[in-house]
Amino acid sequence: MKRVLIIDDEEDICILLQRYLSKNSMDVSYENTLTDGLTAIKRTKPDVVLLDNNLPDGLGINHINSIKTQFPEIKVYMISAYSSLQNEATQNGADRFIPKPFELSTIVNLIK
């Protein structure tokens, strides 16, 4: 079973993703701040992190490289409404860039 951590400040998106991914046999948790998310990565060692960019306490894009350096086995998928961040996200080490809005089935297919 894949372990997925969502780091996004939009509670509705987190709940929707958690429910949908859980129904697809994934172990899903979420955090609403970058600080809590980075702590959760160390604690839970997920297989995949779905990382939003604009968080209340910082920009997710600035932490991709650090996550990948500490945990190279973790896949980091940047999710953002700002498609202009795609190149920067991949240059910083993101495994994928997923533009908002997205299809839930797309997320499932990427993770499986």
Q: Which two tokens stand for residue 55?
A: 């968080």
For the stretch 49-89, pLDDT in tens is 999 999 999 999 999 999 999 999 999 999 999 999 999 99
Q: Which CATH number fits the domain that encloses residue 65?
A: 3.40.50.2300
> In angstroms, what CA-CA distances link 9 with 12, 22, 35, 95?
9, 19, 12, 21
Which stretch of DSSP H or E encloses residue 55?
strand 54-55
How many structural domains compose the chain?
1
For the stretch 88-99, pLDDT in tens is 999 999 999 999
Amino acid 37 reads G
> In angstroms, what CA-CA distances link 43 with 5, 6, 36, 81?
11, 14, 10, 28
**What is the span of the domain harbouring residue 29?**
2-111
Give burial (CB, 10 Å; 0-12/13-18/19+) of 90: middle
